[in-house]
Amino acid sequence: MGSLSADATLPWVKTPCVFSPQVSRAVGCNIYLKLDNLQPSGSFKSRGIGNLMTRAAARGNPDIHFYCASGGNAGLACATSALALKRPCTVVVPVTTSPFMKNKLIQLGAEVQQVGKNLYTATQYVVDELVAKDPNGVFVPPFDHPDVWDGAATILPELRDQMEVPIDGIVCSVGGGGLFNGLMQGIEALPWDGPKPEVVAVETDGADSLNACLRAGQHITLPEITSIAVSLGCSRVSEQTWKWAHYPNTHSLVVSDADAAISCVRFADDARLLVEVSCGAALAAAYKGDLRATVGKGLSDAEWAQKNIVLIVCGGSGVSLQLLDRYVEEYAAHTSIKV
């Protein structure tokens, strides 16, 4: 195993975990926000993708070149990680990717190619045409790799250091399952004085590949993605996600696009932070009252008020003030969440 140069910087950072009086009031228990939207790339993917790339770079090949297919957060995590590790990267984006996102990648120093009508075809191009023909090439998967899960698992030791109260539950959005896998792995790796934290995995309707598996009783693939939460738009969760979902401390929830979108608007008011609609899925579980029906099932109001729940604010690049305004116009009438 080689080592990184002394001037290389880890591609992810320890993020704050803060108590939120506003969200706690809305939920009825103690809500803490793990602010992984403050990662260098703007999302939690800096941990997993950064860890995978750091380990690959540490193997000692000075000519390593990273390749990633992504139209969003994974590409940004790859580009910011490559910048931190002082290594080159190429990000292949589908033709549907906006000029705004392409420019963000270019500004980070990534070589950007635009190939294919969707992420699947872009990924096939990366694997078959770029990585296969570059002896120094390393493919950077967005979620389905043990190094990615190890990176996501670093959230747990941070939470243990930051929280002065027991952690009763952790809520996260789920796309392909990289974050969920890391959280479960991190929980299993640590000793707990009491019960292990409950983990609530939240998806949007139309991108609910994990929940569809649980309903079907087998690991299946969604025929299509219809949700606006494109960062959650993975038609099949990883095999490891399917396995973790059977653990007794896990719950699967599905919220509507309207719930997730308006939760982002509400969160901007409550926390003064902008997050994309895929992150809004986890927030919606809080604002809608779904957490009380899962983690707090059967508890009295007084008992529920004592519970300590961590919301993973996973962030995301697909958000702007203009988009939040549009969400209010399009979705405010279709959700019980008030703004």
| pLDDT exceeds 90 at position 230 | no
pLDDT (average), residues 191-215: 94
The tally of CA atoms less than 13 A away on the side-chain side of residue 75 is 31
pLDDT tens, position by position, 86-99: 999 999 988 888 88
CA dihedral 87, 90, 93, 97 (to 10 degrees): 60
Domain 17-43+145-332 and domain 45-139 have a common topology? yes
CA-based R_g, the chain, Å = 19
251-280 per-residue burial string, b: 16 or more CB within 10 A, e: under 16: bbbbbbbbbbbbbbbbbbebbebbbbbbbb
Q: What pLDDT score does 56 carry? A: 96
- pLDDT tier for residue 318 given thresholds of 50, 70 and 90: confident
Domain 45-139 has CATH 3.40.50.300: no
Q: Where do the structural domains in the chain lie, given as residue ranges?
A: 17-43+145-332, 45-139
C-alpha closest to that of 87 among 112, 61, 113, 117? 61
Domain 17-43+145-332 has CATH 3.40.50.1100: yes
Provide the whole-model pTM.
Answer: 0.93
pLDDT (average), residues 251-277: 96
pLDDT tens, position by position, 108-147: 999 999 998 777 888 899 999 999 999 999 999 988 999 9
Task: Compute the mean pLDDT over every residue in the chain, rounded to the nearest whole number.
Answer: 92
- pLDDT tier for residue 3 given thresholds of 50, 70 and 90: very low
